[in-house]
Amino acid sequence: MRIYNTLSRQTEPFKSIHPGIVNIYVCGPTVYNFIHIGNARPVIFFDVVRRTFEYLGYSVKFVSNLTDIDDKIITRAKELEVSEQELTQTFIRAFLNDVEKLGSSTKYDSPKVTDHIDPIIRYIEKCVSSGFAYEADGDVYFDVSKLKDYGILSQRHLSEQTQGEKSLNNDKKKNPLDFTLWKKTEEGIKFKAPWSEGRPGWHTECVAIIEDTFGEKIDIHGGGSDLIFPHHENEMAQAQAVSNHHLANIWMHNGHLQIEDEKMSKSSGNMIFVKDIDVDPMGFRLFTLGTYYRAPLMYSEDALSTYVNEWDRLKRTYSQAFYALDLIEYLDEKPKTYPEIEILHDQFIDAMSDDFNTPNALTSMYAVVKILNQKLREDDAFEMILAAYKNLDTMFSILGLKVSLKRLTKDDRNMYHAWKDARKNKDYETADRLREKLTERGILA
Ligand SMILES: [Zn+2]
C-alpha cells in the first residue's frame, strides 16, 4: 500500500504504527444543515479506504466526529426558532441517513463535541501549560509564533500569511494568525471552563477528540482539501505543542467536487443535497469513484447519468450471474481459479493499493464484467461464471457497491424450469407469461 501524504507531498509506502491495525480519523460535518453532494465525496471515499484496509486484513479503528457546537449552529437555530440541541439532533439523524443512502457504513465511532467537553478543556489546559497558548480576557489563543514550523502542512510561511490576512486580527490576539482554543461567549450553548463560560474552537475539538479516543498519534487523518488550512494546520500545531508529534503519520485530502453547470453552482444558491439525489445512489457512488480522489470531481447531470447507466449495466450482469448460479444451486460452491480472472483481481488490488486509484481499479472491474457477459451467453460455463462472479462481488464490496438480491425460492426455481420447458416445446404464450413473471422478480433481465 502506498499513500500520498499531504504533509510530505510524497506518495509513501504505508506502514501502520501497530502491526495489523490502522487508526483513522476523518473530520465529520458541522450539523446545521443537510449535506450537499460535495460533502458526499469524503463520506464515500474514506469508507472505501476503510474497506480496502479491511480487505487487506487490517483491523481498522475509524472515527469521524460530529461538530455540534458552532457559530453556524447558533445562527441557524435562531433562524428556525429551535434550540441548538433540537437542530443538531435533526441534522445528525439526516446525516446518518445520507451516509447510509450513499452506501457507506455508519457503524463507526462518531463522537459528538458536546460529549467531549471535559477532555477538550483538559487539552486546552495542556496547550496553556506548555506555553503555546495564552489567555486573553476569557478567551484562549494558540500562539503560532511559538511553533517553529507552523505552516508545514499547508506549506504557508508565517510572514506571507500574516501579510495577507490582517483582517483576522483582533485586539486580544498577539498575532493575527493566532487561533481560538476557547471562546468566551454570552450567546448560545456555553460551558464552564477555568477561563470563562464559553465554548471550544473547532480546531481544538478534533485534536482533543483524537487524543481522547486514540490516546496517541494516529495512522491517517483525512478530510477534504479545503480543510488543510487553517483547520488541519491548527490541529497539527496543537498536537506538536502538547505531544510533540504531527498528530498523524499520513494526512490524506480529497479534492473538491466542482459543479460544471453554472446554474447549479453553490454561488447561485442552488445546492444539491444528498437527500435529493433521485437516481440510484450506487450510480452516484460509482460516479465519485470514477475520478481519482485527489483530483477535482467535475459534476454535471450528464456526467452523473453516464455513471448511473454504467451502474445499471454492472448491476444487471451481477444479478444475472447471481440468479444463473442460484438456479442450479451453485452459488455456495468454491470457485476454481482461472488465470485470466486472477490477473484482473490482482490488478484491481494493485490499483487500490496504489494510493486508492479507483479509476484504474474500475478498469479491471469492467474487464471482469465483460468476461461474465460472455460466459453468461454460453451453455455450461457456470464454473467460470462462478469464479468471475465471486471476484466481481469482492470488488463491489471493497468499493461499497451494493446490490440487494434475494436467494431463489423453490417456487422461483420451478417457474424458471417451466419457462425453459415452455420455450423448448415452442409454447410461446406460456413462455412469455412466465418470462414476464421472472422478469418482475428480477430473475431474468
Ligand atoms: Zn477536524
Q: Give the tens place of pLDDT for each residue, 9-27.
A: 999 999 999 999 999 999 9
Cell numbers at 173, concatenated? 490576539
CA of 123 to the centre of ligand 1 (A): 15
Instruction: Indicate whether 57 pLDDT > 70.
Output: yes
> What is the chain's mean pLDDT, rounded?
93
CA of 328 to the centre of ligand 1 (A): 51
Task: Compute the average pLDDT of residues 45-60.
Answer: 98
Please report the pLDDT score of residue 159 as a whole number.
Answer: 66
Task: Compute the average pLDDT of residues 437-443.
Answer: 86
Instruction: Indicate whether 317 pLDDT > 90.
Output: yes
The residues facing 166 across adjacent strands are none
Please report the pLDDT score of residue 445 as a whole number.
Answer: 72
Instruction: Indicate whether 68 pLDDT > 80.
Output: yes
Please report the pLDDT score of residue 407 as a whole number.
Answer: 94
Helices (H), 56-116: 71-80, 84-101
CA of 279 to the centre of ligand 1 (A): 31
Give ion ligand 1 contacts, CB < 5 A. 27, 206
**Domain 283-399: CATH class, spelled out:** mainly alpha
Q: Is 179 left (phi over 0), alpha (psi -120 to 50) or beta?
A: beta
Cell numbers at 104, concatenated? 457507506
CA of 203 to the centre of ligand 1 (A): 6
Instruction: Indicate whether 302 pLDDT > 80.
Output: yes
**Crossing angle of helices 117-129/233-243, nearest 10°?**
70
CA of 23 to the centre of ligand 1 (A): 15
Radius of gyration of the chain (CA): 26
CA of 88 to the centre of ligand 1 (A): 17
CA of 207 to the centre of ligand 1 (A): 7
Q: Do domains 2-277 and 283-399 have the same CATH topology?
A: no
Please report the pLDDT score of residue 433 as a whole number.
Answer: 96
CA of 413 to the centre of ligand 1 (A): 53
Residue 372 Cα to chain centre, angstroms: 29
Calculate the CA dihedral of residues 37, 43, 45, 47 and round it to 10 degrees: -150
Instruction: Indicate whether 326 pLDDT > 90.
Output: yes
CA of 212 to the centre of ligand 1 (A): 14
Please report the pLDDT score of residue 263 as a whole number.
Answer: 55
Instruction: Indicate whether 226 pLDDT > 70.
Output: yes
Q: Cβ neighbours of residue 67 under 8 Å, at least 6 residues apart?
A: 28, 29, 30, 31, 113, 202, 205
CA of 283 to the centre of ligand 1 (A): 29
Q: How far is 207 from 237, CA to CA, in rounded Å?
A: 10
Q: String of b and e for 235-263 (b: at least 16 CB within 10 Å)?
A: bbbbbbbbeeebbbbbbbbbbebebeeee
Q: Cβ neighbours of residue 422 under 8 Å, at least 6 residues apart?
A: 428, 430, 431, 434
Topology adopted by domain 2-277: Rossmann fold (3.40.50)
CA of 292 to the centre of ligand 1 (A): 23
Task: Compute the average pLDDT of residues 89-106.
Answer: 97
Q: How far is 284 from 266, CA to CA, in rounded Å?
A: 19
Q: Give the tens place of pLDDT for each residue, 265-284.
A: 555 566 899 999 999 999 99
Please report the pLDDT score of residue 348 as a whole number.
Answer: 98
CA of 81 to the centre of ligand 1 (A): 28
Question: ∠ CA 165-168-169 to the nearest 5 degrees?
Answer: 110
CA of 153 to the centre of ligand 1 (A): 14
CA of 27 to the centre of ligand 1 (A): 4
Please report the pLDDT score of residue 169 as a whole number.
Answer: 54
- Asked whether 140 and 196 are in contact (CB, 8 A), the reply is no
CA of 312 to the centre of ligand 1 (A): 36
CA of 64 to the centre of ligand 1 (A): 9
Q: String of b and e for 381-397 (b: at least 16 CB within 10 Å)?
A: bbebbbbbbbbbbbbbe
CA of 67 to the centre of ligand 1 (A): 9
CA of 202 to the centre of ligand 1 (A): 7
The pLDDT confidence band at residue 4, using thresholds 50, 70 and 90, is very high
The pLDDT confidence band at residue 164, using thresholds 50, 70 and 90, is very low
Instruction: Indicate whether 285 pLDDT > 70.
Output: yes
The residues facing 248 across adjacent strands are 218
Task: Compute the average pLDDT of residues 334-341.
Answer: 97
| DSSP tag of 188 | S
Question: Where does residue 150 rank: exposed (0-12), middle (13-18), buried (19+ CB within 10 A)?
Answer: buried
CA of 274 to the centre of ligand 1 (A): 21
Find, among 310, 383, 313, the residue nearest to 341 by Cα: 383
Domain boundaries, the chain: 2-277, 283-399, 410-440
CA of 422 to the centre of ligand 1 (A): 63
The residues facing 3 across adjacent strands are 12
Q: Give the tens place of pLDDT for each residue, 365-390.
A: 999 999 999 999 998 899 999 999 99
- Asked whether 304 and 287 are in contact (CB, 8 A), the reply is yes
Please report the pLDDT score of residue 269 as a whole number.
Answer: 61
Please report the pLDDT score of residue 264 as a whole number.
Answer: 54
